[in-house]
Amino acid sequence: MTYKAIIFDYIGTLVEPRDYSLETSREKLHVALQQAGLEVDVSNFKEAYRSAHEKYRKVRYEKLREVTNAIWVSEALCNSGCKTTVKNSKLKEGLNIFFQDFVDSLILRKHAKNLLRQVTKHGKVGLISNFTYAPAIYASLRKLGLGNFFNAVVISESVGWRKPHRIIFEETLKTLRINAGEAVYVGDSPVEDIGGAAALGLKTVFVPSHFYSVEDLARCGEKPDVIVEDLLDFSKVLPEVLKVPKTRLHHPT
């Protein structure tokens, strides 16, 4: 059997943030919103943002419904005295300024681009990303020169569901015009990537990252079909992965 497509997770698997702090990012968000003309006291905003973020975090992680970042930022602004809506052009401008910092922090993992060049020779290539603001993902793909490698880019904000929910995987398979049994999925998250993809019948490849280790995978209990040390290791076993039916291969780290 030969698989017709390889689908990748994005952040953690192909790229990773460098020198990025969530707490610092919240402060920069306030500055970005001010630059866009949305004035609000920084202390009030940071407290309102934490509250709104936690509220929607439960929706996102417990129900797997994705919520665009604009919704909880808009709610935080309103709760801190600056009335606005998610459709406010100033809000979008502020978010674009804010996420540029995140986009600039992303770097390619070693061997990522060479691996993508390699896999395009074997079939279709897809990308699935859990992210609350799709424009930032597209901007990073352009910045890093990755956009042309993918036949499908599916982002949770656009779909409305997050990995490991089956819908986001199904939407990707539909876009690629393949069945689950014809795809290999590569990711670094034991639950979101490996568990989600395996539940639909995709062949799964686990790549450790600075977010998740092989030990994290073992504690989680998910059992991918292939475990590789890194992207270079995956490129070495790629022909075997694509041609061999679901057989568990373990390349220990």
| Dihedral (CA of 15, 20, 23, 28) sign | negative
Residues 85 and 126 grouped into a single domain: no
Residue 113 token pair: 């681009």
The answer to whether the predicted template modeling score (pTM) of the entire model surpasses 0.85 is yes
Q: What is the mean pLDDT of residues 126-138?
A: 96
Number of H helices, E strands in the chain: 11, 9
Per-residue model confidence as pLDDT tens digits over 143-190: 999 999 999 999 999 999 999 999 999 999 999 999 999 999 999 999
Q: Using the 8-state DSSP alphabet, how is residue 147 labeled?
A: G
What integer pLDDT is reported at residue 1 of this predicted model?
55
- Residue 186: which of 167, 200, 203 has the closest Cα? 203
How many distinct structural domains can be found in the chain? Answer: 2
Residue 114 token pair: 């060479």
Per-residue model confidence as pLDDT tens digits over 58-115: 999 999 999 999 999 999 999 999 999 999 999 999 999 889 888 999 999 999 999 9
The DSSP bridge partners found for residue 185 are 7, 204
For the domain that residue 223 is a member of, what is the CATH number?
Answer: 3.40.50.1000
Domain end marker among 70, 88, 104: 104
Domain end marker among 104, 124, 144: 104
Residues 118 and 190 grouped into a single domain: yes
What integer pLDDT is reported at residue 250 of this predicted model?
45
> Which residue range is the domain that position 44 belongs to?
22-104
Residue 147 token pair: 């956009």
Cα 149 to the chain's mean position, in Å?
Answer: 16
What is the three-class DSSP state of 176?
A: helix
What integer pLDDT is reported at residue 248 of this predicted model?
46
Q: Report the distance separating Cα 243 and Cα 110, nearest Å.
A: 25
